[in-house]
Amino acid sequence: MKTRSLLAVVGLAISFAFPTFAQQQKSLKELIVGTWLLESVYDQTQDGEKHNPWGDGVKGQAMFDAQGHFSWMIMSANRPKADTSPRIPVGQAIAYWGTYAVNDEAKTLTTTFERCTFPQWDGRGSTVSIAFPTEDEFQFTVTKPFPDPTLGPIAPHIIFKRAPVP
């Protein structure tokens, strides 16, 4: 009897000391929900070379809700300040929104763009590889490289950190 009690106490102590063993791991669908701030973005060529088309100081944000809606934007820091129409963006920027689905088994994110700053992407979809090294870091990698006029096929890599609660 004493051995069983001792084992029960040790088991309980371990579950408090290492709560990840006592809790079920969150699904990717649960992990992705929230607001994410851009940590880094780069394009990788097929030979492994990394390129930063956005320049220093690039910022971005992505938001995913629990109902399957998302929005996403990335803007370079050194955009010229021009006296143009406020309805015509200036400089390097991309923004889009739509719906999303996560496949836990395949570790993929599939998005459908309702609208995008690039009109040819309206209504299109995309499936990318995703990873969560921690609950507060979200990595996004395009699995099907697409052509770049100067670099050849590239695969964008994006890393977000979870936004702090205000």
Q: What is the mean pLDDT of the chain?
A: 85
Confidence band of 16 (pLDDT split at 50, 70, 90): very low
pLDDT, tens digit (0-9, with 9 covering 90-100), for 70-97: 999 999 988 777 777 766 667 788 999 9
Condensed to tens digits (0 to 9), the pLDDT of residues 25-43 reads 899 999 999 999 999 999 9
Radius of gyration in angstroms for the set of CA atoms belonging to the chain, rounded to a whole number: 21
Q: Could you tell me whether strands 69-75 and 108-116 are parallel, antiparallel, or unpaired per DSSP bridges?
A: unpaired
Would you list the domain boundaries of the chain? 26-162
The fold of the 26-162 domain, in CATH, is Lipocalin (2.40.128)
Mean pLDDT, residues 134-154: 92
